[in-house]
């Protein structure tokens, strides 16, 4: 594959914001498509940013010398990210991949001002004709991991180290809890939020805090480092994570991965941009879209539970089983979803409450 990726570190000097008048994409068509990628953490060899770049490489393999990709890594959310995204547009990038929820406000402003620029945005809720957020239905996989966790815990205490208390991560934890309760209703989940996508020291301390409370299975929820997984392995407790496999960091206690493959989705959107038919809108993608998958299951999971997990995954795929279906109670015991009622996609995307069994309160 041709070397068409340019990597740049964050520059303290501001990047020039563009004020160009928007023109139709076809009028700006070029032989080489310029695509800018902004990542919230280093790409590394595992984690969210790594998984995004695997998706970008799928696009590169298809486009070869006709695409030039500029990657900016470890960019904090906020004004710096906004300046950088604007700078990429000023440099002629008509396709942007913005890899974090916190890039949303700056990205939507670019989309409104520059209709010739198409933006793929990681999670969020705002849309424009040229702005398309994407979110994974991680909860489909974390429900299954909850089933596995319930079969292996001896303390009946399982835990989660979470990055930020946003709906995307809250739903993953709630599904983890519901999956565990389907095997053992007495299990509880404790959560520690580190308020960062990339903070190895805080992640390690959070994992150790959970282990000190007798938690013996840990969910590393949106960490971009293997810190939680490695601490769990050293302590002899099971752990799993999102996005990409971290099995090499926990050869004996790795529970598995709820992975994502963004390549096909990114390729479809880039193709649409080139054709002048970019489909702005919110993409909510899961196992049925070949985006979310589970892998690297630990051999310690009992055979009967493996069979239950396989049957549940098949039911999720064929639509006969819905994870978020009532009756669902919140932490205070209040019924949030009535018996037999399935939550809508919009309700799941906006979930800001924990199900009963999650003992840690959400941050205010």
CATH architecture classification, 138-260+291-349: 3-Layer(aba) Sandwich (3.40)
What's the CATH code, domain 10-136+262-289?
3.40.50.2300
The 3-state secondary structure of 67-118 reads EEEEEECCCCCCHHHHHHHHHHHHCCCCEEEECCHHHHHHHHHHHHHCCCCE
> Which residue ranges does the chain devote to CATH 3.40.50.2300?
10-136+262-289, 138-260+291-349
The pTM of the full predicted model, rounded to 2 decimals, is 0.88
* Residue 24 predicted with pLDDT over 90: no
- Separation of alpha carbons 287 and 169, rounded Å: 17
Q: Read off the pLDDT band of 349 (50, 70, 90).
A: confident
What is the pLDDT, as a whole number, of residue 32? 95
What is the pLDDT, as a whole number, of residue 31? 79
Per-chain mean pLDDT for the chain: 91
What's the rounded mean pLDDT across residues 155-167? 96
What is the pLDDT, as a whole number, of residue 1? 35
- Separation of alpha carbons 316 and 287, rounded Å: 8
What is the pLDDT, as a whole number, of residue 5? 54
* Residue 205 predicted with pLDDT over 50: yes
Nearest to 260 by CA among 313, 297, 222: 222
What is the pLDDT, as a whole number, of residue 364? 80
Nearest to 238 by CA among 226, 250, 249, 248: 250
What is the pLDDT, as a whole number, of residue 75? 95
- Separation of alpha carbons 142 and 194, rounded Å: 19
DSSP string, 233-293: HHHT-EEEEEES--GGG-TTTEEEEEEE--HHHHHHHHHHHHTT----S-EEE-GGGT-EE
Q: Read off the pLDDT band of 26 (50, 70, 90).
A: very low
- Separation of alpha carbons 241 and 259, rounded Å: 8
Letter string b/e over residues 288-302, b meaning 16 or more CB atoms within 10 A of that residue's CB = eeebbebeebbeebe
What is the pLDDT, as a whole number, of residue 28? 41
Least confident of 20-29, 62-71, 120-129: 20-29
What is the pLDDT, as a whole number, of residue 17? 29
Could you identify the residue written with the tokens 């500029």? 70
Least confident of 16-30, 91-105, 285-299, 317-331: 16-30
Q: Read off the pLDDT band of 15 (50, 70, 90).
A: very low
User: 39 and 75 in contact (C-beta within 8 Å)?
Assistant: yes
- Separation of alpha carbons 102 and 311, rounded Å: 37
């Amino acid at each position: 594959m041709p070397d068409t990726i340019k990597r740049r570190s964050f520059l303290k000097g501001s990047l020039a914001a563009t004020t160009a008048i928007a023109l139709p994409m076809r009028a700006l068509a070029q032989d080489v498509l310029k695509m800018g990628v902004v990542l919230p953490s280093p790409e590394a060899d595992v984690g969210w940013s790594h998984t995004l770049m695997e998706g970008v490489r799928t696009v590169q393999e298809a486009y070869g010398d006709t695409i030039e990709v500029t990657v900016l890594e470890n960019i904090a959310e906020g004004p710096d990210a906004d300046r950088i995204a604007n700078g990429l547009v000023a440099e002629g990038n008509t396709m942007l991949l913005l890899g974090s929820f916190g890039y949303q406000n700056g990205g939507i402003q670019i989309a409104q001002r520059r209709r010739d620029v198409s933006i793929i945005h990681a999670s969020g809720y705002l849309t424009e004709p040229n702005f398309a957020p994407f979110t994974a239905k991680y909860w489909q996989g974390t429900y299954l991991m909850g089933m596995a966790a319930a079969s292996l815990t001896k303390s009946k205490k399982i835990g989660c180290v979470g990055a930020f208390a946003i709906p995307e991560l809250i739903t993953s934890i709630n599904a983890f809890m519901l999956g565990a309760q389907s095997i053992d209703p007495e299990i509880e989940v404790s959560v520690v939020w580190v308020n960062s996508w990339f903070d190895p020291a805080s992640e390690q301390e959070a994992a150790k805090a959970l282990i000190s409370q007798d938690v013996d299975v840990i969910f590393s929820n949106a960490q971009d480092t293997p810190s939680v997984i490695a601490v769990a392995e050293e302590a002899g407790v099971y752990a799993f994570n999102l996005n990409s496999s971290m099995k090499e960091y926990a050869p004996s206690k790795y529970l598995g991965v709820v992975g994502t493959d963004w390549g096909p989705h990114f390729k479809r959107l880039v193709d649409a941009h080139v054709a002048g038919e970019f489909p702005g809108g919110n993409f909510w993608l899961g196992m049925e879209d070949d985006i979310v998958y589970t892998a690297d299951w630990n051999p310690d999971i009992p055979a009967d539970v493996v069979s239950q997990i396989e049957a549940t995954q098949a039911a999720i795929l064929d639509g006969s089983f819905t994870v978020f279906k009532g009756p669902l109670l919140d932490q205070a015991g209040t019924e949030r979803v009535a018996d037999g009622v399935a939550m809508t996609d919009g309700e799941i995307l906006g979930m800001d409450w924990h199900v009963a069994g999650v003992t840690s309160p959400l941050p205010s």
